[in-house]
Amino acid sequence: MVENKRTPDFSLNTQGISVHIDPMTFLVLSGMPDPGQYADVLTELDETLDVRVWPDAGDLSDIKYALAWQQEPGVLATLPNLKIIFSLGAGVEHVLGDPKLPDVPLVRFVDPDLTMRMGEYACLHVLMHQRRMLEYAALQRQGKWQELWPQPCASETRAGVMGLGVLGRNAAEKLHLLGFDVAGWSRSMKRSDGVTCFAGEDGLKPFLARTDILICMLPHTPGTHGILNAKLLSGLARDGQLPGPVLINAGRGKLQVEADILSALEAGDLWGASLDVFEEEPLPASSPFWAHPRVIVTPHNASITYSRALCRYVLAQVARHERGEALENVVDVKRGY
């Protein structure tokens, strides 16, 4: 049981007028290590807050705001006065996996630093493959001074971003600034300077057919589950200047069918890959990706959430809500993102 910093539901009686002060009580529910870090930062930012960490929730009727990620299913539904659920990340499938999710707004994390980091990841990995750095690193280890051909420049390389949301759009625009020939694909049609846009099922085939380096920044939903499979990979461009198509996945592991990616690498449908997310995380030691010469593995850190940035964002959203303003980045629960 946590020690409450504020007494719940107290009233001030000034000149006979009873003023009700609603305490600002938060509950952090996370299956990830160290959920207490969010309580520490929130109270550092505002020492009047009452922040509790599941399972030390105290009186459940006190809780107004929840910060959740892989929460224990069913717990959120037991909070009778819950007003808002905040996802501890940009993605929300870990929160939506709860079969008893209460009907209150679910707000996801959108932050300029998070967006910037994802843009960096996209540019870094596109350049790594376009400039054939994995092969040059292998040649260096062998002490070999050797140039590789072909060596297309950015404008001769077609990058395709799947998902033109907050993160994908920023990545696409940065790749365009680097000189790549960029396209993007999303559910609904977008307009973006310098990015050729495709949308929906009909747009997928032509989008893939003009893509040498595919960068995936989709959310994981029932509609995107396993989308990076053999059929999709075989639709990537085969007339590019690189030795073959490349896949970069920074969205979610459950978007990819790993057996299909490995087969595509063997068959030449894929020439290289950068994978930040995996079907199972941490990536098991037995995974062939670890030692694959044409695969770069990163530990789901394409863009990380800093607890301080997240907590500032949560408090800003709560302040909007308290002022009666609309919340930002509210998830469409039916759509799944």
**Residue whose entry in the numeric block shows the structure tokens 């140039």:** 147
Binder of residue 223, out of ligand NDP, ligand OXD, none (CB less than 5 to 8 A by kind): ligand NDP
Alpha carbon distance 318, 278 (integer Å): 33
Q: Which does 126 bind (CB under 5 to 8 A by kind): ligand NDP, ligand OXD, none?
A: none
- Selected from 35, 91, 184, 253, the binder of ligand OXD by CB under 6 A is 91
Q: Between residues 91 and 184, which has the closer beta carbon with respect to ligand OXD?
A: 91
Which residue is nearest to ligand OXD, using beta carbons?
89
Give CA–CA dist 93/236, Å, rounded: 28
Task: Tell me which stretch binds ligand NDP (CB under 6 A): 48-56, 72-80, 143-151, 165-173.
Answer: 165-173
Give yes or no for a contact between 93 and 336, defined as CB atoms under 8 angstroms apart: yes
Please identify which residue in 119, 160, 163, 244 interacts with ligand NDP, judged by CB under 6 A: 163
Q: Tell me the H-state helices in 286-334.
A: 307-322
Window 240-279: residues binding ligand NDP (CB under 6 A) = 250-252, 276-277
Cα separation, 41 vs 51, in Å, equals 10
- Candidate residues 57, 85, 86, 89; the one interacting with ligand OXD per rule CB under 6 A: 89
Nearest alpha-carbon partner for 88 in 54, 122, 47, 56: 54
Binder of ligand NDP out of 221, 256, 287, 317 (CB under 6 A): 221
User: Which residues sit opposite 296 in a β-bridge?
Assistant: 274
Q: Which 107-136 residues touch ligand OXD, going by CB under 6 A?
A: 109
Distance (Å, whole) CA 308 – CA 183: 34
Compute the distance between CA of residue 240 and CA of residue 282 in angstroms, rounded to an integer: 34
Is 160 a binding residue for ligand NDP by CB under 6 A? The answer is: no
Please provide residue 65's backbone torsions phi and psi, each rounded to the nearest 5 degrees: -130, 135
Please give the residue ranges that form the binding site for ligand NDP (CB under 6 A): 89-91, 163-168, 186-188, 217-221, 223-224, 250-252, 276-277, 300-303, 337
Please give the residue ranges that form the binding site for ligand OXD (CB under 6 A): 89-91, 109, 305
